[in-house]
Structure 1
Amino acid sequence: MEEKNNPGPQTTESISLLPLLAVNFIGTLGFSIVLPFLVFLVDRLGGNAFIYGLASSMYPAFQLIGAPILGRWSDIYGRKKILFLSQLGTLLSWIIFLGALFLPVATLFEVDSKILGAFTFTLPLAVLFFARAFDGLTGGNVSVANAYLADITLEKDRNRNFGKMSISSNLGFIIGPALAGILSVTKYGDGAPVLGAIIISLIGAVLILYYIPENKECSLREPEDSGNIRKFFGYEIKECRTTEEKRKPTFGEVLKLPNIPYMLVLYFLIFLGFNIFYTAFPLHAIAVLDWNIVQMGVYFTILSALLIIVQGPVLSRASKKYSDATLITFGSLMLGTNFLLLIPGNLFLTYLATGFFALGDGLMWPSFLSLLSKTAGKDYQGTVQGFASSFGGLASIAGLILGGLLYEVLAGSSFLIAGIVIYIVFLLNFRLKHFEKEIQS
């Protein structure tokens, strides 16, 4: 009955949301398909824990540069065009990644350090670094997709729809690692999952081109160099059909928006804790749990399946009873506990931790994105989401590199650091109740 009372927004959502979810799923699938074997590949090509963390940090490091630009462009030129541009970058990056596997393992330089450990930096590693960097530079698809979703849904539906986006991502994480485990044991070895990522990225580009409608074809304010931009991209900037002239905010102006700086700090800390885990866990799984690629794929598949359960029926029911701030606070408590359960290196506790991870992340992250979009307001979704992605990228760089270094020194105790970071987030989240009251007033 509620859908019949809101025919306008629901019609827009029915046209746009499913293709957007499909693109989000495909993007995650293309990434997660190489997640289980990347640590093994880096080791085979001469790297160690530090190099694995550094290689993983290439994407967020260059996303730090690209995401704000792409976010602003999406506010000016439309979400679809920038999503397509980003997807093409991902496709090309996987092609470069595949090429790295066929290069001779020629030594460029060697390092033997007490802090960084011993490793050999080879030619394929250098090309792999470049591929991840290029993907990051054009990797604004997440922030643009979040802005697109915020454009086409009412505020009351954002928690639920960001939950749907998270479900589509986690479906990719379910199928990707499982598919990687299957493909990696074929005669094509490492090349099979990467080729799969190429095909998946190509399908994503086609979906964006033909099935996602443009929802914003106007400029907030025509920039002075718009002629050069039009010439470069081959299309005109369309003026907004509004009586009030608006313009894109600078970073300084974004920081002056009410409560946005506080939300960006939380965004940074959440990503910091996550990425310490993302680097340390594969190293921990190999060194302590003695896992192979297939076992790694099974773990991430189970984790993602649990996340879908939480972000589907559990979040749907919880969001009707509890506010975004409440779900964010409770979720961060569960997520921090998950990291502590990983420290002993016990198989039972490791899989028990997946339940805490799913409950924590599944309730916290969609609710956080929902509250961030409400706090940003409708006028600057792309810009704020782009800067948020940059804060996340900065935290990812620090977390991924720090995760490798911490595991070299502390082994499983590195998860304690990730847990402490998320517990700090838990304490800071109590202020979010006040933010919600300001939005509602």
Structure 2
Amino acid sequence: MSGQLSGSMGAHRKGIIILTYVLAALELTCLFMQFSFLPYLSRTLGLDSVNFGYLQTIFGTLQLLGGPVFGRFADQYGARAALSLSFVAASALYLLLAASCSPALPGVFLLFASRLPSALMHTLTAAQMVITDLTAPAERPAALGRLGLCFGVGMIFGSLLGGTLSTTYGIQCPAIVAFVVTFLGAILSFTCIPVTTKDTSVQSAHQGGSDAGVFDLKAITRLLLLPRVFPVFLVKVISGLPAGLFLVMFSIISMDFFQLEAAEAGYLMSFIGILQMVIQGLVIGRLSTRFPEEVLLQSSVLVYAVVGLGMALMSNVLHFCLLVPSLVFSLCTLNVVTDSMLTKAVSASDTGTMLGLSASVHPLTRTVGPTLGGLMYRSYGVSIFGHVQLMVNLLVLLVLWRKPLSQKKDKVR
């Protein structure tokens, strides 16, 4: 009888995890649909490149500020509330985007207003929280890595759908489709995801042991400064920043340095998306069962350094294509392993807040990237990204070799 009950619970958990993957793929598809048609919508509304940069900076800043708060909200109110809130925010964003296409409404105002809900759009963070809560620590890297399949699906199909729908049916069509899909996602989240995915004992201890609110910055900072958290977080930020700056500037580099047409740049992005699906969804899970997480972290930093050397020497797009598999491996491994290590470094009641902090790294790069990356590219050319990546990651690797993270472990209080 107990075996049947255990099997039923296991099947229920598996069903929730599969639904979470589906919801994440739907949201990411809509997100990349937005990325594909937003520049054309901005041009239609009369925005120049400077104002479009302001639009992107607002999006990154709001995501950066909203990430930790959203994670804390997820810890306090549960997975269902977090996923539902994220999808409702996404629905509001796409509804405002669709409205901005109407000639009878103030399009530019609505376009900038559509950035405001992005502070609460963190479906991937909520999905990571659900998977973290429902998987054992040993299974966590592989389970989190499979979200890379969702990311790849979103990148490929979202980019294709955004361009096809806007060309065939008008610039407003992708926004309307994204609104319908995300609204459906909100309904599925509210009706099919449990109120909380944490163990009952963990949830009770969290509710009884802390009166801190969602916006309690002191509680968020306390987690970040834990001895097992801060070094890993620092490695995640510093090691990935140079590659992040390069990727932020990639659209400009592909036009100016690689001399690619828009279609050719799209093919290259699809190639990167497919590689990310394979590496993060299939390769990292197998590696995590054979090697300790710290070894994988050091390997990603080492490969980052080698790729940096190649980027400093590359002179055409063929050279870059040869470097892409190693670049994607480093990017995916660093993200998955650090997320797994960070969630293990805090109590089960704080995993959402920790994932929210971790998710803020990418918006940070998108916020400072256009300005910093633009200055670097204009002053020193493409090779500067490779030189900086090489030097930064060699320094990080030296620090990890001299002071392994395993020596800094302590019990989570």
Pick the aligned partner of 2:158 from 166, 176, 179.
176
Q: Following the alignment from structure 1 to structure 2, what is the Cα–Cα distance between the partners of residues 281 and 257? A: 35
Is the alpha carbon distance of 1:168 and 1:54 closer, same or farther for their aligned partners in structure 2, counting shifts above 3 Å? same
Q: Following the alignment from structure 1 to structure 2, what is the Cα–Cα distance between the partners of residues 258 and 313? A: 31
Residue in structure 1 matched with residue 192 of structure 2 by the alignment: 211
Residue in structure 1 matched with residue 180 of structure 2 by the alignment: 199
Partner AA of 1:144 in structure 2: A
Q: Deviations over 1:30-55 (max 9, x none)?
A: 1112334545655663422x554443
CA contact (8 A) 1:163 1:315 kept: yes
Q: Following the alignment from structure 1 to structure 2, what is the Cα–Cα distance between the partners of residues 440 and 317? A: 28
Helix, strand or coil at the partner of 1:289:
coil
Partner AA of 2:35 in structure 1: L
Of the structure 1 ranges 420-429 and 342-351, higher mean CA displacement relative to structure 2 is found in: 420-429
Q: Following the alignment from structure 2 to structure 1, what is the Cα–Cα distance between the partners of residues 102 and 310? A: 40
Shift of 1:90: 1.1
Shift of 1:213: 2.2
Is the alpha carbon distance of 1:353 and 1:170 closer, same or farther for their aligned partners in structure 2, counting shifts above 3 Å? same
Residue in structure 1 matched with residue 215 of structure 2 by the alignment: none
1:435 aligns with 2:398: no
CA contact (8 A) 2:309 2:387 kept: no
Is the alpha carbon distance of 1:51 and 1:303 closer, same or farther for their aligned partners in structure 2, counting shifts above 3 Å? same
Matching of residues 282-293 of structure 1 within 5 Å: 282-293=251-262
Residue in structure 2 matched with residue 236 of structure 1 by the alignment: none
Residue in structure 1 matched with residue 28 of structure 2 by the alignment: 28
Matching of residues 11-410 of structure 1 within 5 Å: 11-39=11-39, 42=42, 45-48=46-49, 51-102=51-102, 127-132=110-115, 134-186=116-168, 188=170, 190-216=171-197, 240-242=203-205, 245-247=208-210, 248=212, 250-270=219-239, 272-338=241-307, 341=310, 344=314, 346-410=316-380
Partner AA of 2:266 in structure 1: G
Is the alpha carbon distance of 1:203 and 1:270 closer, same or farther for their aligned partners in structure 2, counting shifts above 3 Å? farther
Shift of 1:173: 1.4
Q: Following the alignment from structure 2 to structure 1, what is the Cα–Cα distance between the partners of residues 93 and 269? A: 23
CA contact (8 A) 1:91 1:202 kept: yes
Is the alpha carbon distance of 1:138 and 1:431 closer, same or farther for their aligned partners in structure 2, counting shifts above 3 Å? farther
How many residues are aligned here? 401
Is the alpha carbon distance of 1:334 and 1:102 closer, same or farther for their aligned partners in structure 2, counting shifts above 3 Å? farther
Residue in structure 2 matched with residue 110 of structure 1 by the alignment: none
Shift of 1:358: 2.3
CA contact (8 A) 2:79 2:193 kept: no
Matching of residues 413-428 of structure 1 within 5 Å: 413=383, 415-416=385-386, 419-420=389-390, 421-428=392-399
CA contact (8 A) 1:61 1:136 kept: no
Is the alpha carbon distance of 1:259 and 1:243 closer, same or farther for their aligned partners in structure 2, counting shifts above 3 Å? closer
Which has a greater percent of helix? 2
Partner AA of 1:246 in structure 2: G
Q: Following the alignment from structure 1 to structure 2, what is the Cα–Cα distance between the partners of residues 356 and 434? A: 24
Partner AA of 2:63 in structure 1: Q
CA contact (8 A) 1:325 1:429 kept: no
CA contact (8 A) 1:86 1:139 kept: yes
CA contact (8 A) 2:125 2:355 kept: yes
Q: Following the alignment from structure 2 to structure 1, what is the Cα–Cα distance between the partners of residues 102 and 206? A: 57
CA contact (8 A) 2:34 2:162 kept: yes
Of the structure 1 ranges 358-367 and 400-409, higher mean CA displacement relative to structure 2 is found in: 400-409
Is the alpha carbon distance of 1:66 and 1:407 closer, same or farther for their aligned partners in structure 2, counting shifts above 3 Å? same
Q: Following the alignment from structure 2 to structure 1, what is the Cα–Cα distance between the partners of residues 346 and 319? A: 39
Of the structure 1 ranges 252-261 and 410-419, higher mean CA displacement relative to structure 2 is found in: 410-419
CA contact (8 A) 1:304 1:358 kept: no
CA contact (8 A) 1:274 1:399 kept: no
Q: Following the alignment from structure 2 to structure 1, what is the Cα–Cα distance between the partners of residues 62 and 288? A: 35
Q: Following the alignment from structure 1 to structure 2, what is the Cα–Cα distance between the partners of residues 58 and 370? A: 29
Q: Following the alignment from structure 2 to structure 1, what is the Cα–Cα distance between the partners of residues 178 and 388? A: 30
Percent sequence identity over aligned pairs: 19
CA contact (8 A) 1:32 1:173 kept: yes
Q: Deviations over 1:203-262 (max 9, x none)?
A: 322331233222258999xxxxxxxxxxxxxxxxxx954599422571342244232122
Which TM-score applies when normalising by structure 1? 0.78
Matching of residues 1-20 of structure 1 within 5 Å: 7=7, 10-20=10-20
Is the alpha carbon distance of 1:290 and 1:23 closer, same or farther for their aligned partners in structure 2, counting shifts above 3 Å? same
CA contact (8 A) 1:57 1:401 kept: no
Q: Following the alignment from structure 2 to structure 1, what is the Cα–Cα distance between the partners of residues 39 and 222? A: 40
Is the alpha carbon distance of 1:314 and 1:69 closer, same or farther for their aligned partners in structure 2, counting shifts above 3 Å? closer
Of the structure 1 ranges 165-174 and 139-148, higher mean CA displacement relative to structure 2 is found in: 139-148
Q: Following the alignment from structure 2 to structure 1, what is the Cα–Cα distance between the partners of residues 104 and 393? A: 42
Q: Deviations over 1:119-166 (max 9, x none)?
A: xxxx8555433323x233112333332222211111011011011122
Which TM-score applies when normalising by structure 2? 0.83
Partner AA of 2:23 in structure 1: V
Q: Deviations over 1:375-427 (max 9, x none)?
A: 12312112222233345433431224323443444442453366245555544
Superposition CA RMSD, Å: 3.6
Partner AA of 2:238 in structure 1: L
Partner AA of 1:207 in structure 2: L
